[in-house]
């Protein structure tokens, strides 16, 4: 079984959202462990979320199941039904197509660490719940819900 050297997996700070939607997630750090292990059917990300940061804009997936497991710290899960505090050892699952927009916010004083696991459906469409934004997995671009690109391009 091939061991992944986590320290050698590149870190990516922030998100690929257009401005100003990227700001709440600006200091989020992701390491793509699934990619490092050459996985193709599902992804695994090691996430570090500093105090005050969001994991993402609140969203849901059309064709992708998503799962998070908190390793360190505490996070507030925000979804359609309200807020839930998640601490180390807690997990949450988001079935594809649910329409239940969700994201995590670190309201604590220390960095939270969690695993994020998701299927990799090329048919997936990510729909943001609170803002005019969506993204198709087929191209990874974030556009307005009517398909208009951000920035006039």
* Dist. CA 73–CA 59, nearest whole Å: 23
Residue 35 lies in a domain: yes
pLDDT in tens, 70-125: 999 999 999 999 999 999 999 999 999 999 999 999 999 999 999 999 999 999 99
- Does a structural domain hold residue 4? no
Tens-digit pLDDT profile for residues 135-148:
998 888 999 999 99
Structural domain boundaries, residue 81: 16-146
pLDDT digits (tens, 9 = 90+) for 9-63: 999 999 999 999 999 999 999 999 999 999 999 999 999 999 999 999 999 999 9
In a domain, 1, yes or no: no
CATH of the domain at 127: 2.60.120.10
E strand spans, the chain? 11-13, 29-32, 42-49, 59-61, 66-72, 74-79, 82-87, 91-94, 102-105, 112-119, 125-128, 134-136, 142-143
Number of domains in the chain: 1
The answer to whether residue 151 scores a pLDDT higher than 90 is no
> CA-to-CA distance for 129 and 137, rounded, in angstroms?
17
Instruction: List residues bridging with 104 in a β-sheet.
Output: 77
Q: Please, what is the average pLDDT of the chain?
A: 95
């Amino acid at each position: 079984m091939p061991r992944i050297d986590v320290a050698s997996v590149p870190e990516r700070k922030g998100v690929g959202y257009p401005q100003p939607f990227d700001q709440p997630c600006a200091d989020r750090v992701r390491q793509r462990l699934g990619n490092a292990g050459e996985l193709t059917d599902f992804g695994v990300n090691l996430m570090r979320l500093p105090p005050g940061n969001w994991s993402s804009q609140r969203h849901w997936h059309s064709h992708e199941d998503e799962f998070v497991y908190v390793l360190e710290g505490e996070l507030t899960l925000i979804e359609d039904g309200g807020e839930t505090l998640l601490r180390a050892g807690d997990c949450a699952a988001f079935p594809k197509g649910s329409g239940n927009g969700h994201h995590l916010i670190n309201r604590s004083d220390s960095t939270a660490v969690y695993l994020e696991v998701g299927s990799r459906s090329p048919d997936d469409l990510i729909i943001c719940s609170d803002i005019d934004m969506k993204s198709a997995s087929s191209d990874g671009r974030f556009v307005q819900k009517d398909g208009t690109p951000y920035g006039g391009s």
